[in-house]
């Protein structure tokens, strides 16, 4: 097997006296679909923020595609091919949908392709998430699921090799969850490695080839999804002992 | 419209303005027009940081006065230097100070950044007040030449023409930014800095570019001031009036595009000049206040906002 696309070793993060993450070890293979679960406050989003450079981890290191990322600001990591979507959609509110996608196309993809090429790329991304007819609308006019799709399209606009989808389905109806799920699987088939952070177990189990569980800032399980969810300490973390 | 077409149109408008003002046949028209043009540059410069990037700067007076005082220094050391070069120096000085302040304060968001720029203005004023080479607290006299150096006419006509050229440059730059890669980066920062960074936008670098451009143009607007007023002291150079007017103009005109600050500056600047002559000079600030209140209530997105959506 080739080198892992993402290697996290000994990663730790504290906020004052509170240990948010401790000794996280994680490897993600190329093309893999990884699920990351854990109760609220277990450090999932903190881990994403440390991976993407929004937060600085105090200990340990992150390597992407064999390259150490430590100390690199968030925008440089995106340019290397690591994109994220936010748990709560954070669109650029004063820009149209097409312009929202234009920002990462102009800034994250090495600036190649100008003018019409950028235009076409915006269109095809919006088509991918079936928002093409709303290209000239503002994000304020979108429904919740459309907002999620825009968030994913914007993450994809940077042409990432690794996509971290942070609760892309929270608050959606079952039908909408299937929509997003199908979209993520389609992206994965195109070769994008995906880490999915999610509370909706049905979606996580349907999606993941491997499941990692965080509890109170520590990794307590890592393996085949069906095995992991039967592991006693995982059950305990979710249901209590 | 392509950028070069736009610039050509701007230049035609500028020449029409210049010869139109000459037709008035009264040098007061040039004195009044100079102030309006100066505010076009200031408001446009402010809008690059405030409107496009979303950082409200209360320190306009500091950048403006730094440009003016750099001319004072040059006037005392190399008086033969032509005015456009002095303006370039003023722009570089203020632009550099913009980068410096930006680097120190751009970690602050919203109101905190604004207060920091206000504090910066106070610090600068205190420094200049205590620097006797540029006149200190008692101020400095700068003798204005009689004749325009490049054409047959009064020096005020030359100052007017220089400021006209400066407004053409400022407006052209502001418009070019709007739909450029830089402009989209600025807009992303204005809307959501974290998401901008996650989209690959180097936010700190772009904010420094914005402060440098904005501060630089403010400095350039201030550089000819000593020749215009002929007597400059810190309390007039650093006057809060510049800061207040410069914020009010883009807000009244609309911050979303280049035309907003221009409209605001022409409208407010002309009104103020008219009020100064016909009623009283104290009234001009009252006009700003009343207009701001009216616009905040009736047209929060400025004049431009009326015509869009």
pLDDT mean over B239-243: 91
pLDDT mean over A12-40: 92
- pLDDT on residue B44: 97
**CB proximity B255 to A under 8 Å:** no
More confident residue, A62 or B256: A62
- pLDDT on residue B24: 85
- pLDDT on residue A113: 57
Q: Which residues of B touch A73 (CB under 8 A)?
A: 197, 202, 204
Distance CA B70, CA A121 (A): 48
Q: Tell me: pLDDT of B175 over 70.
A: yes
Residue of B nearest to A48 (CA): B198
Please state, as a whole number, how many other Cβ atoms lie within 10 Å of the Cβ of residue A185. Answer: 14
Partner-chain contact A79 B192, CB within 8 Å: no
Residues A81-119: pLDDT tens digits?
999 999 889 999 999 999 999 999 999 886 555 678 888
Q: Tell me: pLDDT of A160 over 80.
A: yes
> So what's the ipTM on this one?
0.89
Partner-chain contact A106 B191, CB within 8 Å: no
Q: Which residues of B touch A103 (CB under 8 A)?
A: 184-185, 187-188, 196, 199-201
Partner-chain contact A75 B256, CB within 8 Å: no
CA-nearest of A152, A154, A150, A126 to A140 is: A150
Q: Tell me: pLDDT of A1 over 70.
A: no
Distance CA B126, CA B283 (A): 28
Nearest by CB: A103 against B199, B202, B256: B199
- The mean pLDDT of chain B is 91
> Which residues have C-beta within 8 Å of that of residue B5, sequence separation ≥ 6?
none
Distance CA A103, CA A153 (A): 12
Partner-chain contact B198 A79, CB within 8 Å: no
Q: For helices A97-108 and A116-128, what crossing angle results, to 10°? A: 120
- pLDDT on residue B242: 92
> Best residue in A88, A101, A107, A156 to probe B by mutation, most B CBs within 10 Å?
A107
The answer to whether residues A186 and A12 touch, using CB atoms and an 8 Å cutoff, is: no
> Which residues have C-beta within 8 Å of that of residue A148, sequence separation ≥ 6?
A85, A89, A168, A169, A172, A180
The dihedral through the CA atoms of A44, A47, A49, A52 has a sign that is negative
In chain B, where are the structural domains located? 3-243
The count of CB pairs under 8 A between chains A and B is 81
Partner-chain contact B198 A54, CB within 8 Å: yes
Please state, as a whole number, how many other Cβ atoms lie within 10 Å of the Cβ of residue B16. Answer: 10
Count the helices and strands in chain B (H runs, E runs): 15, 2
- pLDDT on residue B145: 87
Q: Which residues of B touch A125 (CB under 8 A)?
A: none
10 Å CB burial of residue A56 (0-12, 13-18, 19+) is exposed
**CB proximity B197 to A under 8 Å:** yes
Q: Does domain A6-90+162-239 have CATH number 3.40.50.300?
A: yes
Distance set, CA A197 to CA A43, A57, A183, A233 (Å): 11, 19, 15, 19
> Best residue in B2, B194, B199, B255 to probe A by mutation, most A CBs within 10 Å?
B199
Write down the pTM of the prediction: 0.91
Return the structure tokens found at A12. 């730790």
Query: Across chain A, where does the E strand assignment appear?
Result: 6-15, 18-28, 33-37, 59-64, 67-68, 82-85, 162-166, 193-197, 210-215, 218-223
C-alpha distance across the termini of chain A, in Å? 39
Nearest by CB: A79 against B181, B196, B200: B200
pLDDT mean over B282-305: 86
Partner-chain contact A94 B199, CB within 8 Å: no
Q: Tell me: pLDDT of B203 over 70.
A: yes
Residue of A nearest to B188 (CA): A92
What is the bridge-based pairing of β-strands A210-215 and A218-223?
antiparallel
Partner-chain contact A108 B200, CB within 8 Å: yes
Distance CA B176, CA B182 (A): 9
In chain A, where are the structural domains located? 6-90+162-239
Q: Tell me: pLDDT of A241 over 80.
A: no
**CB proximity B297 to A under 8 Å:** no
Count the helices and strands in chain A (H runs, E runs): 9, 10
- pLDDT on residue A162: 95
Distance CA B262, CA B164 (A): 12
Alpha carbon dihedral B2, B7, B13, B18, in 10-degree steps, equals: 180
Partner-chain contact B201 A94, CB within 8 Å: no
Interface residues on A facing B, Cβ-Cβ cutoff 8 A? 52, 54, 73-75, 78-79, 83-84, 86, 90-95, 99, 102-104, 106-109, 111, 154-155, 157-158
Percentage of residues in chain A having pLDDT higher than 70? 97
Chain A: give the shortest CA distance to residue B308, in Å: 13
> Best residue in B179, B195, B300 to probe A by mutation, most A CBs within 10 Å?
B195
């Amino acid at each position: 097997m080739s080198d892992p696309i993402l290697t996290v070793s000994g990663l730790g993060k504290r906020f004052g006296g509170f240990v948010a993450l401790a000794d996280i070890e994680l490897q993600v293979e190329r093309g893999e679909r990884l699920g990351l679960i854990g109760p609220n406050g277990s450090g999932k989003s903190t881990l994403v923020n440390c991976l993407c450079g929004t937060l600085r981890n105090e200990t340990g290191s992150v390597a992407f595609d064999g390259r150490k990322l430590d100390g690199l600001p968030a925008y440089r990591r995106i340019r290397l091919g690591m994109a994220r979507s936010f748990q709560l959609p954070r669109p650029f509110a004063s820009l149209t949908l097409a312009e929202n996608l234009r920002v990462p196309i102009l800034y994250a993809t090495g600036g190649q392709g100008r003018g019409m090429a950028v235009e076409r790329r915006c269109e095809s991304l919006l088509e991918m998430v079936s928002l093409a007819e709303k290209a000239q609308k503002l994000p304020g006019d979108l429904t919740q699921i459309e907002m999620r799709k825009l968030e994913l399209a914007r993450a994809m606009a940077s042409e990432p090799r690794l996509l971290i989808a942070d609760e892309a389905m929270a608050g959606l109806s079952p039908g909408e969850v299937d929509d997003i799920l199908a979209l993520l699987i389609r992206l994965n088939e195109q070769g994008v490695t995906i880490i999915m952070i999610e509370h909706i177990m049905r979606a996580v189990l349907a999606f993941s080839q491997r499941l990692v569980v965080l509890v109170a800032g520590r990794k307590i399980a890592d393996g085949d999804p069906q095995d992991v969810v039967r592991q006693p300490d995982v059950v305990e973390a979710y249901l209590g002992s | 419209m392509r950028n070069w077409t736009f610039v050509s149109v701007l230049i035609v408008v500028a020449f029409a303005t210049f010869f139109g003002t000459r037709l008035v046949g009264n040098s007061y028209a040039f004195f009044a027009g100079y102030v309006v043009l100066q505010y076009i540059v200031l408001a446009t410069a402010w809008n690059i940081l405030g409107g496009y990037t979303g950082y409200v700067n209360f320190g306009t007076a500091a950048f403006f006065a730094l440009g003016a005082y750099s001319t004072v220094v040059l006037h005392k050391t190399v008086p033969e230097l032509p005015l456009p070069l002095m303006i370039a120096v003023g722009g570089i000085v203020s632009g550099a100070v913009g980068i410096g302040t930006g680097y120190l304060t751009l970690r602050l968001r919203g109101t905190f950044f604004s207060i920091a720029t206000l504090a910066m203005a106070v610090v600068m004023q205190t420094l200049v007040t205590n620097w006797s080479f540029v006149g200190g607290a008692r101020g400095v006299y700068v003798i204005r030449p009689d004749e325009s150096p490049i054409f047959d006419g009064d020096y005020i006509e030359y100052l007017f023409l220089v400021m006209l050229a400066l407004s053409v440059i400022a407006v052209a730059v502001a418009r070019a930014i709007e739909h450029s890669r830089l402009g989209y980066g600025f807009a992303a920062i204005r809307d959501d800095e974290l998401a901008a960074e996650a989209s690959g936008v180097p936010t700190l670098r772009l904010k420094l570019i914005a402060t440098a451009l904005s501060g630089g143009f403010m400095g350039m607007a201030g550089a000819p001031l000593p020749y215009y007023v002929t007597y400059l002291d810190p309390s007039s150079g650093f006057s809060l009036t510049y800061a207040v007017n410069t914020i009010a103009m883009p807000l009244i005109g609309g911050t979303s595009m280049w035309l907003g600050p221009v409209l605001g500056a022409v409208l407010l600047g002309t009104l103020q000049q008219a009020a100064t002559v016909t009623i009283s000079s104290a009234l001009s600030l009252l006009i700003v206040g009343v207009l701001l209140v009216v616009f905040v209530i009736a047209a929060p997105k400025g004049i431009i906002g009326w015509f869009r959506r």
